[in-house]
């Protein structure tokens, strides 16, 4: 029996679709598959000792950083196994991963590539010339989740009415858009691929049977294909009327598809995540986000009127951030009554410039960054104004302390405001101090995921 071990190091507190989906494909092709998620269970050497193929799932920067020492450890334990890396961050870090001894790189739509690789290794055939990025349309199968840790091992949803067990699935991959800072762009380059609705529904069914009360859809943008996404959640709600879910949607799409918002609300959407990134129009233009400050304001107000909670995310520290701009962001969030919807870590997100980032197309960025750091997997940068880097360090410490203490979000907000205010030139402090928002204790609580990232 040909043995495959699939390894995930971190997937934002979710039971990894990126293990469950290829596991089903490989099992159907005759492999014995083990799934290892070291984010919930310590790594055990016996899980890889007899594997013929060991494949690391790399969906994001953090997962890749965590995988590097584990790849090296696994190679010492099992020197005969073929080592593969797959997922969004595998092809963009191909050179470094191959230096580590990874033999096959698969990005984009990776399931069929993993099957082809397994069959070739099992049958002693020459290895197929697999592309490092495949955007081939695939006919998916229901993910296999029996070898994964139970859903209760992962993040839960906190609501005013208590905790809810979370499942996770994907209805599409890739994105139609080309935001400069986005790690999806170098792989999908403006394209997206759907997962067939019957497969998504079957995956949700098995997770509900396993105890899921809420589903996170991991699509980069749920409304890349409204004709695919909206009938899906309508069918989901018809079958499971008490099930809630969350999705991620661009401000641009929330504006364009206003008719979709009541559908989402009425089918159980608990909140919508949107990568707003910034409220400074110049920074938004640099990032090529496709929306403006005013667009964000309009969407936030409209969603409040509709009764569909918005959970914005930000890249709060960029080379173009100023202390004044940071305070302006805080003031606007308070004005829009979004402070309770902002996860603490969002105040301390620093721009990452990974390999093949579209930001590197800009001369301004090329002149700013240091040479690529293969250990950190980024092009390092320092802010031209040391006060902004100092603010980042202070905010990051405040966020960590606040999360450890479990203090209210409005308390953290006020601490961050004061930290930023203290870094202004003395001549500006009085005018900004007068703008300090007064946060009421009556702000509506928004459902939140227990994972710190949210």
Task: Please report the pLDDT score of residue 245 as a whole number.
Answer: 98
Is the dihedral angle over the CA atoms 166, 169, 174, 176 positive or is it negative?
negative
The rounded distance, in Å, linking the Cα atoms of 432 and 323 is 11
CB atoms near residue 384 (< 10 Å): 10
Task: Please report the pLDDT score of residue 414 as a whole number.
Answer: 95
Cα dihedral value 14, 15, 18, 21, nearest 10: -140
3-class state of residue 82 by DSSP:
strand
The rounded distance, in Å, linking the Cα atoms of 317 and 257 is 30
In the numeric block, the tokens 């579209």 are attached to 358
Backbone φ and ψ of 448, nearest 5°: -135, 150
The rounded distance, in Å, linking the Cα atoms of 119 and 97 is 23
Six token digits for residue 270: 């608990």
Which fold does the domain 3-134 belong to in CATH?
A: Rossmann fold (3.40.50)
The rounded distance, in Å, linking the Cα atoms of 143 and 169 is 9
**378 burial class (0-12, 13-18, 19+ CB within 10 angstroms)?**
buried
3-class state of residue 4 by DSSP:
strand
The rounded distance, in Å, linking the Cα atoms of 261 and 266 is 9
Where b means 16+ CB within 10 Å and e means fewer, 5-39 reads bbbbbbbbbbbbbbbbbbbbbbbebebebbbbbbb
Side-by-side strand order, sheet with 269-277? 310-314, 269-277, 244-248, 214-217, 162-169, 156-159, 448-449
CB 151 within 8 Å of CB 165: yes
CB 447 within 8 Å of CB 162: no
As beta bridge partners, residue 253 has: none
3-class state of residue 174 by DSSP:
strand
Task: Please report the pLDDT score of residue 189 as a whole number.
Answer: 96
Residue partners of 69: CB distance under 8 A and separation at least 6: none
3-class state of residue 313 by DSSP:
strand
Task: Please report the pLDDT score of residue 444 as a whole number.
Answer: 63
DSSP tag of 18: H
The rounded distance, in Å, linking the Cα atoms of 26 and 16 is 16
Six token digits for residue 210: 């396993």
CB atoms near residue 293 (< 10 Å): 17
Residue partners of 167: CB distance under 8 A and separation at least 6: 15, 151, 204, 207, 208, 210, 212, 214, 215, 216
- Helix (H) / strand (E) element for 429: namely helix 426-433
Six token digits for residue 338: 């979004």
- Write down the pTM of the prediction: 0.96
The rounded distance, in Å, linking the Cα atoms of 260 and 263 is 5
Binned average pLDDT, 10 residues per bin, the chain of 454 residues: 97 97 98 97 96 98 97 97 98 96 98 98 92 96 96 94 96 97 96 98 98 98 98 98 98 97 98 98 97 98 96 97 97 95 96 95 95 94 96 97 91 96 92 86 74 68
CA atoms within 13 A on the CB side of 112: 13
The rounded distance, in Å, linking the Cα atoms of 292 and 278 is 9
Which fold does the domain 151-449 belong to in CATH?
A: pyruvate-formate lyase- activating enzyme (3.80.30)
Task: Please report the pLDDT score of residue 446 as a whole number.
Answer: 82
In the chain, what are the domain boundaries? 3-134, 151-449
Task: Please report the pLDDT score of residue 336 as a whole number.
Answer: 95
């Amino acid at each position: 029996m040909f043995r495959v071990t699939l390894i995930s190091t971190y997937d934002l507190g979710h039971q990894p679709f990126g293990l469950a989906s290829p596991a089903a494909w490989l099992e159907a092709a005759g492999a014995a598959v083990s799934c290892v998620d070291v984010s919930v269970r310590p790594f055990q050497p016996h899980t890889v000792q007899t594997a013929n193929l060991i494949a690391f799932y790399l969906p994001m920067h953090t997962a890749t950083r965590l995988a590097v020492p584990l790849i090296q450890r696994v190679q010492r334990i099992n020197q005969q196994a073929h080592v593969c890396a797959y997922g969004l961050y595998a092809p963009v870090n191909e050179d470094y991963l191959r230096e580590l001894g990874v033999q096959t790189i698969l990005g984009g739509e990776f399931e069929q590539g993993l099957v082809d690789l397994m069959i070739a290794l099992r049958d002693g055939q020459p290895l197929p010339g697999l592309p490092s990025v495949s955007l081939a349309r695939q006919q998916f199968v229901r993910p296999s989740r029996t070898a994964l840790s139970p859903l209760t091992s992962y993040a839960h949803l906190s609501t005013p009415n208590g905790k809810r067990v979370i499942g996770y699935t994907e209805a599409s991959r890739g994105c139609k858009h080309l935001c400069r800072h986005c790690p999806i762009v170098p792989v999908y380059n403006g394209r997206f691929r759907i997962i067939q609705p019957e497969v998504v529904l079957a995956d949700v069914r098995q997770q509900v049977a396993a105890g899921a009360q809420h589903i996170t859809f991991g699509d980069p943008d749920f409304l890349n294909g409204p004709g695919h996404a909206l009938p899906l959640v309508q069918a989901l709600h018809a079958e499971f009327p008490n099930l809630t879910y969350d999705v991620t949607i661009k401000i641009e799409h929330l504006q364009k598809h206003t008719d979709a918002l009541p559908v989402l609300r009425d089918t159980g959407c608990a909140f919508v995540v949107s990568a707003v990134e910034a409220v400074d129009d110049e920074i938004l233009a640099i990032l090529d986000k496709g929306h403006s400050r005013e667009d964000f304001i309009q969407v936030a107000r409209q969603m409040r009127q509709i009764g569909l909670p918005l959970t914005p995310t930000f890249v709060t520290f960029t080379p173009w951030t100023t202390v004044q701009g940071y305070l302006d962001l805080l003031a606007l969030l308070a004005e829009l009554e979004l402070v309770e919807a902002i996860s603490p870590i969002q105040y301390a997100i620093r721009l990452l410039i990974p390999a093949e980032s579209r930001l590197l197309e800009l001369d301004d960025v090329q002149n700013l960054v240091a040479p690529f750091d293969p250990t950190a997997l980024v092009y390092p940068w320092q802010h031209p104004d040391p006060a902004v880097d100092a603010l980042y360090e202070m905010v990051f410490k405040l966020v960590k302390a606040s999360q450890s203490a479990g203090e209210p979000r409005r308390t953290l907000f006020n601490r961050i405001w004061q930290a930023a205010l203290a870094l202004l030139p003395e001549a500006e402090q009085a005018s900004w101090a007068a703008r300090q928002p007064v946060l009421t204790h009556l702000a509506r609580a928004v459902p939140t995921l227990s994972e710190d990232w949210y």
